[in-house]
Amino acid sequence: MGLVLGVVLRACPVEAHADAGHTPAVTKAAGSEAIPASARMEPAELAAMIRAGHAPVILQVGFTKLYTEAHIQGAIHAGPMVSTDGRVLMRETVEHMDRHALLVIYCGCCPWEKCPNIRPAFAALRKMGFTDVKAVYLPNNFGTDWVRPGYPTVTGG
Amino acid sequence: MLRAGFGRARRRASSAVCGVVLGALLLAAGPARSAQAQEQARSVVGRAAPAFALKDLHGQVERLSEYRGKVVLLNFWASWCGPCQVEMPTFARWQSQYGGKLQVVGVSMDDDASAAEAVVRKLKIDYPVVMGTAGMGNRYGGVYGLPVSFVIDAEGRVRAEYEGGNHVNEIKAEIAHLLAGSGR
């Protein structure tokens, strides 16, 4: 099921989502690079990949306490991008990763439009040479858009 | 023109087909049926507020139990959360306005206390602010995004939870309702 869903999502034009009014085609926060619609990943698509056993590398680029509370199954903490320590952690985490493999990032600390981490993380990874970076689209926050719908989550803390 | 027009039509048809297929697949593979039940199990609304004893920004230990007899507004926030900082000055005004019947307690989810201190100074917040922990967030049902606020009645029971930054009027109404009930 997960594979089928993944194939269908990839086959469908991204404009279909934007046309339907789910998300704006391009979003941008002040002072950071916009994330094009083609680089966004819907939560259901990632959840299906995880459930099918085909999870990509997933990076949480948000805050430590929020990661400790709960995170996407298999995700690595590599942030937050607003702090120097977070940026160093990001560099160290991805240093030896394949530049052409799918790399999925997410934050969800705040609504997508207000998130201080997701766009800087996307821009930093692209700058480092990663060619297939996707950002999980969490319009409200991690709880509302990932945990509450029942997608694969690890809780702790 | 014709080609462009045809292209648009084909994309719409393609989108429509994809929409139907996706809808069916998402229904099957998406949110678990038990999500609503899990949400009810998660929520602390209607239950005794989880106790805590945490240091504030001045190093003093703040205990929720100290505020029994008052309505408590417990507000989870962080320095990196823009919507949080919009509502915090309003909470500070309420603290002054409602005096001894209401206690606002801020819970910073910052990793670094100095970042929280800077915001508290900038916004002139004069209610207690403690440094939250992941464990505390989980005991309150999971604080996975900010801001999140809880209104706790004078008997220590959680009466309402508000997720996101657009609930100031609702929070105020709930507090006013509780204060009216407590004889204010």
pLDDT exceeds cutoff 50 at B168: yes
Tell me whether strands A133-136 and A40-41 are parallel, antiparallel or unpaired.
parallel
User: In angstroms, what separates the C-alpha of B16 from chain A's closest C-alpha?
Assistant: 8
Q: For chain A, how many structural domains are there in total?
A: 1
Q: For chain B, how many structural domains are there in total?
A: 2
pLDDT tens digits for range B94-123? 999 997 899 999 999 998 899 999 999 999
Distances (CA, A) of A91 to A33, A108, A124, A132, B134: 18, 20, 9, 17, 25
Q: What is the CATH number of the domain that holds A30?
A: 3.40.250.10
Q: Map tokens 């999980």 to a residue.
A: A136
Instruction: Enumerate the residues of chain B whose CB falls inside 8 A of the CB of residue A118.
Output: none
Residue B37 within a domain: no
- Under 8 Å CB pairs connecting chains A and B tally to 137
| Over residues B29-38, mean pLDDT | 52
**Quick one: which of B135, B76, B141, B139 has its CA closest to B108?**
B76
At B38, the pLDDT band (50, 70, 90 cuts) reads low
Its domain, for residue B93, covers: 44-181
Residue B86 within a domain: yes
Question: How deeply is A135 buried, as exposed, middle or buried, from its count of CB atoms within 10 A (0-12, 13-18, 19+)?
Answer: buried
Interface predicted TM-score (ipTM): 0.72
Instruction: Enumerate the residues of chain B whose CB falls inside 8 A of the CB of residue A66.
Output: 109, 134, 137, 143-145
pLDDT tens digits for range A68-125? 999 999 999 998 988 899 999 999 999 999 999 999 999 999 889 989 999 999 999 9
- d(CA B126, CA B149) in angstroms, rounded, equals 17
Q: What is the CATH number of the domain that holds B158?
A: 3.40.30.10
pLDDT exceeds cutoff 90 at A46: yes
- d(CA A142, CA A79) in angstroms, rounded, equals 15
| Over residues A136-147, mean pLDDT | 95
Question: Are B146 and A141 spatial neighbours (Cβ–Cβ below 8 Å)?
Answer: yes
pLDDT exceeds cutoff 80 at B124: yes
Output the average pLDDT for chain A: 83
Its domain, for residue A72, covers: 2-155
Q: What is the pTM of this model?
A: 0.77
Decide which of B20 and B180 is more confident.
B180
CB contact under 8 A, B81 and A110: yes
